[in-house]
Amino acid sequence: MKYVIIAGEASGDLHAANVIKSIKNIDNAAEIRFFGGDLMAKAAGHAPDLHYDQMNVMGFSEVLRKLPVILRNLKQAKSLLRDFRPDALVLVDYPGFNLKLAKYAHGLHIPVHYFISPKVWAWKEWRVKKIKKYVDRMYSILPFEVGFFKKHNYDVTYVGNPSVQEIAYSIGHIPPKKHFMERQGLDDPRPIIALLPGSRRGEIRNNLPLMIAAAKRFPDFQYVVGAAPAVPEKFYREIAQDPGLKVVFGSTHTLLKYSQAAIVTSGTATLETALIGTPQVVVYRANGVKLSYKIMEKLLKVKYVSLPNLIVGNSIVPELLVHNCTVESIARELSPILQPSPRREWQIAGYRTMQRKLGNSVASEYVAELITDSLGVAESEIPAEDAPKPQICKRPRRKKQPQREESES
């Protein structure tokens, strides 16, 4: 079968790469084209049609500035669908771009599978109508989304959260702390504050200077940046105006494991940090601060924005957003979680509740099974030797189902 898979940022690249691996384990004749990153390229065995580094935009003002680039990328994606004519289009997160592509694919009668639902429960609820019209099957990674979509008479499948699988695998392969520190050139004996400023250059530009300034207020600690794979080290040093800035590539999970606490830009990284068990402060500073905040204030329909808080339905981790994200506020929230305290224990207990709610399904394998089942890929097409898989509880393979499945909560 022929597949087109679209991911527009680093987290989507990771999740989509695992889906590609799982599809290839099931369908040994799979032809895969994609927009994505290096991890997807490794899984597919060839380069992307477009790298996600050319797709990244953030904030309302940046979208306006880069509109010609967005339109050019969308035109290229449409051409790919028209010329390649896949049996399935698999969209991974990135809703502003992907929902437009879903509409186009629908017009070409290409089945649309969407992995990682747009966060329409938070804002832009009107997008539900588009999803119902253009997305054939939706695969959710957040258990509370099931009830939300059910209110709109649209059934989705909760497939588990891919970060659970990925973090469990990473933790099982983390090197001893001494080896990690030596390999990364971290010879400072002070405990670590991890800084995760995001995967997009705009996020890094807006958040990293504040993170560094806050971390410097704790001289008994060192700070280390967990870098995004597609952003060069030189960029971090230029933003920080520090040629000696400590930056770790490809080992963010290990960095978090050996950190006393973390300052994390709102997004998937907050969930990963929680799954690893590292106390954190969640921050988000955007371009056009006043305009962004006013728009956010009008449109957001949820009490929280960070994934740990949303999943549990309670304030586990502090959230410092837009104009509330200052050096002073970050330092104030960071201080009590750098040492044993009720605030630190509250976070750790909340993380345990969050893990129970997420469950242990291997999301990428489940999604691949549902996609290939919908296309009628036979069991006989599964290769005899499957690639090694993490030792995690997984769902049994389901039989082909003609309609969207209702999620399990």
User: What are the pLDDT digits (tens) for 356-393?
Assistant: 999 988 999 999 999 999 999 965 444 444 444 443 34
Do the strands 280-284 and 222-226 form a parallel or antiparallel pair, or are they unpaired? unpaired
pLDDT for 58 = 56
- Among 32-41, 343-352, 371-380, which is the least confidently predicted range? 371-380
Mean pLDDT, the chain, rounded, equals: 88
Structural domains of the chain ordered from first start: 2-161+360-381 (3.40.50.2000), 175-358 (3.40.50.2000)
Nearest Cα to 302, choosing from 312, 292, 290, 287?
312
- Look up residue 369 and give its two tokens: 């099974």
pLDDT digits (tens, 9 = 90+) for 231-272: 999 999 999 988 889 999 999 999 999 999 999 998 889 999
Cβ neighbours for 63, distance < 8 A, ≥ 6 positions apart: 57, 70, 96
- pLDDT at residue 217, as a whole number: 97
Burial (0-12, 13-18, 19+ Cβ within 10 Å), 6 = buried
User: Residue 222 pairs with which residues in a beta bridge?
Assistant: 192
For 114-121, what is the mean pLDDT? Answer: 93
Cα distance between residue 409 and residue 404, in whole Å: 15
Integer angstrom CA distances of residue 123 from 75, 155, 267, 304: 26, 19, 15, 12
CA 41 to CA 49: how far, in whole Å? 10
pLDDT over 90 at 59, yes or no: no
247-248 and 192-196: which strand pairing? unpaired
Per-residue pLDDT at 398: 47
pLDDT in tens, 176-223: 999 999 999 999 999 999 999 998 898 999 999 999 999 999 999 999
At 114, give phi and psi (nearest 5°): -120, 115
pLDDT of 394 strictly over 70: no
pLDDT confidence band for 163 (50 / 70 / 90): confident
Distance between CA 284 and CA 278 in Å, rounded? 18
pLDDT digit string (tens) for 169-184?
899 999 999 999 999 9
- Which contiguous run of DSSP H or E holds residue 5? strand 2-7
The tokens 């997008």 sit on which residue?
A: 127
Q: Kindly state the percentage of the chain with pLDDT values over 90.
A: 72
How many helices (H) and strands (E) in the chain? 18, 13
Residue 292, pLDDT above cutoff 80: no
What would the pLDDT profile of 77-112 be if each residue is shown by its tens digit?
999 999 999 999 999 999 989 999 999 999 999 999
Cβ burial, residue 302 (10 Å; 0-12/13-18/19+):
exposed
Give residues with Cβ within 8 angstroms of 378, minimum separation 6: none
Per-residue burial over 197-222, b if 16 or more Cβ lie within 10 Å, else e, is bbbbbbbbbbbbbbbbebbeebeebb
Q: How confident is the model at residue 296 (pLDDT cuts 50, 70, 90)?
A: low
Residue range 135-153, pLDDT digits in tens: 999 999 999 899 899 999 9
Q: What is the pLDDT of residue 401?
A: 44
Query: Sign of the C-alpha dihedral, residues 267, 271, 272, 278?
Result: positive
Beta strands in 209-333 (DSSP E): 222-226, 247-248, 259-265, 280-284, 319-321
Q: Where are the beta strands (DSSP E) in 144-199?
A: 157-158, 192-196
User: What pLDDT sits at residue 309?
Assistant: 95
Give the pLDDT band (50/70/90) at residue 407: very low
Residue 288: pLDDT band with limits 50, 70, 90: low
- pLDDT in the model for residue 198: 92
Distance from C-alpha of 37 to C-alpha of 17, rounded to nearest angstrom: 9
Three-state DSSP at 91 gives strand
Distances in Å between the Cα of 385 and the Cα atoms of 24, 165, 279, 365, 380 are 12, 21, 40, 16, 13
- DSSP β-ladder status, 319-321 and 222-226: unpaired
